[in-house]
Amino acid sequence: MVYLQIKPWLDLFRRVMYTHTQGVSLIYTTCFKEFIMRLSFALMFIAAAFTIALAGCAKAQKPGEIRLGPLEIKILADAQFDRDAAILVSPENPDLLQNIPADFKMVSGVSVILAKCGNETVLFDAGLGKESGGKLLDSLQEAQVSPDDITAVFITHLHFDHFGGLVQGGKPSFPNATVYLAQEEADYFLRDISDIPEQERGRFQGAITCFAALESAGIPIVKFPSGSDLTEYFGDWKFSFKSEQAFGHTPGHTIYRLNSDGKEILIWGDILHVIDIQLSWTDISATYDMDTELAKGVRRRVLEDAAARSIVTAGSHTTAPGLFRIAKKGDGFIRKEL
Ligand SMILES: [Zn+2]
């Protein structure tokens, strides 16, 4: 603070002006050096204060938002569903279901994760789509992001609540975006279904129609092997960005880990659907899990790791604000606020 006091500055300025008019070059040089030194200290002080103020702003985040260095993450609400115990199964250990209260109910969201960094504005999944009641486009508008701004959409898996929002009225919702999905998921869902019985084609047809519309509109579709390191694969993002196999919910279900500024965020897709139950009893699966044996193993592995490293997590079907850490509690886990 001493360098910001006015009087020494005025005295110094007077001395500089005086010596300048007297033409005494040695004194002038000495005084001028002191002037420059004081000015440098003052500028450093102002710069430091400005940096601290900016850091303070970065920490003052709203619920559902976090900044990891240059990377901004925001949870966008798409829909909400009432959940009860009817969607929960435990074929490997049916007794576990007795832990669920008979009157159990909770509200579970459908969330889309927005990630912004540099010139890239990215969505993880695309929600249900407006025609099916999805509110993603409204949430984007609230976040002051235009659909035209979206440069990429990374899909966790090809269930309708995750890809439905890619297309609206037969046209791409995000005309400037490249769509990325795991090769394994594409191989399973975007296949020739002529040999599949008519009554079983429904779960494939939605994805096939959606991706055919994207292709015919010229939207680039990139299929990568699940588990690929996407750091160099993708755009301007220079921080660590990895995909990870989380097969079980679907044959190519893929989760994403972004690591920026030494902090990790895990986008865990559909590791679980009824968080209030499945954090406590991780062997309980949802009827949507195509391979419950695989799904429960993945759930356990991912949650154990997330708790051990206290990383920030974002799932597709959690509750607001949608970003949290988890911690071990007994044999299960609990949510921890950020
Ligand atoms: Zn889902």
Give the amino acid at 217: A
The region of weakest confidence among 53-62, 166-175, 183-192, 245-254 is 53-62
Rounded alpha-carbon distances, angstroms, from residue 55 to 60, 295, 305, 324: 9, 40, 29, 21
Interval between CA 330 and ligand 1 midpoint (Å):
27
Q: Mean pLDDT over all residues of the chain?
A: 87
Interval between CA 198 and ligand 1 midpoint (Å):
24
Interval between CA 327 and ligand 1 midpoint (Å):
23
pLDDT of residue 236: 76
pLDDT of residue 168: 96
pLDDT of residue 171: 97
Interval between CA 37 and ligand 1 midpoint (Å):
61
CA dist., res. 75 & res. 116, Å (int): 12
What is the tens place of the pLDDT at every residue in 12-66? 445 544 444 444 444 444 445 565 566 555 555 555 554 444 444 444 478 899 9
Interval between CA 253 and ligand 1 midpoint (Å):
10
| Domain regions of the chain by residue span | 2-59, 65-336
- Residue 280, pLDDT > 60, answer yes
When pLDDT is averaged across residues 152-158 and rounded to a whole number, the result is 98
- Quick one: what percent of the chain has pLDDT higher than 90? 73
Instruction: Go through 3-13 and write b for each residue having 16 or more CB atoms within 10 A of its CB, e for each that does not.
Output: eeeeeeeeebe
Interval between CA 199 and ligand 1 midpoint (Å):
22
Question: In this structure, which CATH number among 3.20.140.10, 3.60.15.10, 3.30.310.50, 3.40.190.10 belongs to the domain 65-336?
Answer: 3.60.15.10
Interval between CA 322 and ligand 1 midpoint (Å):
14
Would you call the peptide bond into 251 cis, given omega within 30 degrees of 0 as the criterion?
no
What is the tens place of the pLDDT at every residue in 84-122? 889 999 999 999 999 999 899 999 899 999 999 999 999
- Quick one: what percent of the chain has pLDDT higher than 70? 82
Interval between CA 273 and ligand 1 midpoint (Å):
7
Beta-sheet pairing, 120-124 with 152-154:
parallel
**More confident call, 27 vs 200:** 200
